[in-house]
């Protein structure tokens, strides 16, 4: 049985997955990491956790993370990012510019590729950088910041 928590696909097999397929995988990986990180902070309500996660996984936030991570990526990782960024998408969400959405797709493709390859240590390194730089390095919001008005 395949251990989907610890993938280790061969590069040739990963290359058969479309760039948007990699982004689909990476979107889930990145959101799972964000949710785990927020839970680890332990200071938000369920509603606050959801709002904080949405804020961090939205295309504009992911685009900001991508811009900051680019100088830290290897040449191979930059290539994966560029292919994801340049993938043809059919629609862009209203809350993001086309540039932001493409950058976010590139970031997601990179995380998807790394996950499928089993490079969890590298994912951890990049995610640690992302959490230090996204939202000005702030930690999870306090509970009272996310109560309904």
Alpha-carbon span 146 to 130, nearest angstrom = 22
Catalytic residue among 27, 55, 121, 132: 27
**DSSP class per residue in 22-69:** HHHHHHHHHHHHHHHHHHHH--S-HHHHHHHHHHHHSHHHHHHHHHHH
What length is written for the chain?
149
> How many angstroms separate the Cα of 44 from the Cα of each of 34, 108, 131, 135?
13, 25, 17, 16
For the question of residue 27 being annotated catalytic, the response is yes
Q: Which two tokens stand for residue 1?
A: 């049985």
Name the residues annotated as catalytic.
Answer: 27
């Amino acid at each position: 049985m395949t251990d989907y928590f610890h993938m280790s696909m061969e590069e040739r097999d990963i290359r058969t997955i479309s760039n948007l397929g990699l982004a689909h995988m990476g979107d889930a990986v990145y959101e799972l990491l964000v949710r785990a990180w927020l839970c680890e902070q332990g200071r938000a309500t369920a509603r606050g956790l959801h709002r904080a996660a949405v804020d961090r996984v939205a295309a504009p936030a992911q685009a900001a993370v991508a811009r900051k991570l680019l100088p830290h990526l290897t040449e191979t990782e930059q290539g994966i990012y560029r292919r994801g960024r340049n993938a043809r998408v059919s629609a862009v969400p209203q809350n993001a510019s086309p540039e932001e959405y493409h950058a976010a797709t590139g970031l997601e493709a990179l995380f998807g590729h790394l996950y499928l390859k089993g490079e969890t240590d590298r994912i951890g390194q990049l995610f640690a950088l992302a959490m230090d730089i996204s939202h000005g390095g702030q930690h999870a919001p306090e509970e009272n910041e996310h109560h309904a008005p």
